[in-house]
Amino acid sequence: MEYYVAGSNLFNQWFDDLDFFSEFRKMSKSEDPNFDFRLANLMQINWSYNIFQLRKNLYLLGAFDGRKIAKKIDIPEECRKSPLVAGNDYNLVIGHNNSSALWILNLEDNSIKNVYLDRELPLELSPKRNKTDNEIQKLVVNNFSCLYLTKGKNVYSGILPSYIDTSHCNGHIIDVACGYEHYMLLTSTGYVYTWGDGRRLQLGQDDTSNLETPTQVEALAGIKIIKIKAGGWHSMALSEFGDLYVWGLNDTGQLGIKESENDLKSYALPKLVDLYDDNEEVHLQIKDIACGSKHSVLLLEDGSVWTTGANKYGQLACPQYPNSKNFNKVCVIKEACRLKCGPWTTVVVCN
């Protein structure tokens, strides 16, 4: 695994003295002789630390307690086969593929709490839930929200998980995403559902209302979506044909829409994004998408990486812009296979 990193290094989470990288920097060995980036699997990028998995251990790199650390955490025996992990400023949540159990590790006092998805709620509260199959498939966590998706296609939210009714959704749920105060679901049939806070138009439902339950983004009806991502207050969806739709807050240009570069208008409905390289429209397929709190990143089939939005901490990998108001091609990394963002960080992952 190779990692190209741009953006925040404020807490030395990438083992370097620079506070941030304004251009992509290839990570290789670290100062810690036991830790080689190339062998480790990057699980999540947070504000003050990164989570890697290396063999049977998790490594937290950075400074969740303010000091420079490379903290090793043993993965609970039960989760070693295929651990799932996500964290925020306070907790680390560990789960694994074949169980409904979650280990919640408090980063301040190192206490561990066990939570079971199917034991926390009286069943009569959620009659439609698939009771037999609550093995966790994916978990996403930030400071304000968390979502768990199970193999039985059930969705739960909250540190003490509560069941989300998705029985009205078309197809079964295959992916989940959370912004700072909104949530997204993607189904096997390519439908996108959003709920949560809509004041910054992040739900894509054409208004600023809040929604209690997952509601279909009707403007995307008829378009099969295969990937979803949530930024702080914006959202992205990628179609099966490689078209990108964005909506929500655009105050730092995080939507990357060329027409609105002068007024930085926010969008209440999904908007198709066109890419331009030196004013020439680009028609390549988009391979992967990712967003930080106020920036967005694309990886195209030719290995080119495109960024837009906030650049205060170098997260656009392009030192000449303060912020960028539309997507710009910043480099080509031929062997790039996927993207991963932290709040103020962009990482290109190569196998």
Partner 1 sequence: MSDVLDLCRKFELFLPNVELSLSEVIELDGCTKSLLNHFIKNPNTLNQRTLIKIQAIIDYMHEKINIGNWKDVKLYLRKTITISSYLKLLIYWKDPNNPMDDLLKESYKIIDFGLVFGCPIENELQLLQKCAGLLNPYSSDYVSEISTNTIKLKHNEVNVEPNKCNTVPVDVMDCPSMESFYTNRILKEKPVVLINCMNNWPALTKWNDQNYFLKMAGLRTVAVELGSKYTDSDWTQKLMTVEEFIKDHIYQSNGPKGYLAQYQLFDQIPELKADIIEPEYCCFAETENPIDVMAWYGPKGTVSPLHHDPKKNLLSQVVGEKQIYLFPPSDSKYLYPHDHELLSNTAKVDPREPNYEIYPEYRHAKAYYCKLKPGQMLFIPPKWWHFVESLSISFSVSFWWD
The three-point CA angle 198-205-270 to 5° equals: 110
Contact segment (CB under 8 A) with partner 1 among 58-66, 154-162, 296-304, 331-339 equals 58-66
Residue 251: burial class (beta carbons within 10 Å; 0-12, 13-18, 19+): middle
Site for partner 1 in 14-53 (CB under 8 A): 19-20, 47-49
Cβ nearer to partner 1, comparing 25 with 199: 199
Nearest distance, CB of residue 343 and partner 1, angstroms = 7
Cβ nearer to partner 1, comparing 145 with 205: 145
Of 78, 23, 33, give the one whose Cα is nearest residue 54.
33
Q: Are residues 232 and 179 in contact, defined by beta-carbon separation less than 8 angstroms?
A: yes
Instruction: Pick the binder of partner 1 from 118, 135, 175, 181 (CB under 8 A).
Output: 181
* Cα four-point dihedral sign 36, 42, 47, 49: negative
Q: Does 343 bind partner 1 (CB under 8 A)?
A: yes
Q: Are residues 82 and 71 in contact, defined by beta-carbon separation less than 8 angstroms?
A: no
Q: Which residues of 284-312 are buried (b: 16+ CB within 10 A; e: fewer)?
A: eebbbbbbbbbbbbbbbeebbbbbbbbbe
Contact segment (CB under 8 A) with partner 1 among 65-73, 166-174, 268-276, 320-328 equals 65-73
Q: Does 232 bind partner 1 (CB under 8 A)?
A: yes
Cβ nearer to partner 1, comparing 2 with 251: 251
Q: Does 207 bind partner 1 (CB under 8 A)?
A: no
Q: Does 322 bind partner 1 (CB under 8 A)?
A: no
Cβ nearer to partner 1, comparing 313 with 327: 313
Q: Does 11 bind partner 1 (CB under 8 A)?
A: yes
State how far Cα 274 lies from the chain centre.
22
Nearest distance, CB of residue 10 and partner 1, angstroms = 5
Nearest distance, CB of residue 182 and partner 1, angstroms = 10
Residue 27 one-letter amino acid: M
Q: Which residues pair with 247 in a beta bridge?
A: 235
Residue 282: burial class (beta carbons within 10 Å; 0-12, 13-18, 19+): middle
Instruction: Pick the binder of partner 1 from 31, 32, 108, 207 (CB under 8 A).
Output: 108
Instruction: Pick the binder of partner 1 from 38, 67, 80, 113 (CB under 8 A).
Output: 67
Q: Kindly determine how many residues on this chain lie close enough to bind partner 1 according to the rule CB under 8 A.
A: 30
Nearest distance, CB of residue 181 and partner 1, angstroms = 5
Q: Does 335 bind partner 1 (CB under 8 A)?
A: no
Site for partner 1 in 111-150 (CB under 8 A): 143-144
Nearest distance, CB of residue 4 and partner 1, angstroms = 22
Instruction: Pick the binder of partner 1 from 31, 89, 207, 335 (CB under 8 A).
Output: 89
Instruction: Pick the binder of partner 1 from 1, 10, 284, 337 (CB under 8 A).
Output: 10
Nearest distance, CB of residue 293 and partner 1, angstroms = 6
Nearest distance, CB of residue 44 and partner 1, angstroms = 15
The three-point CA angle 11-59-77 to 5° equals: 155
What is the rounded CA–CA span in Å between residue 75 and residue 83?
Answer: 8
Residues that bind partner 1 (CB under 8 A): 8, 10-11, 19-20, 47-49, 62-67, 89-90, 107-108, 143-144, 180-181, 197, 232-233, 293-294, 312-313, 343
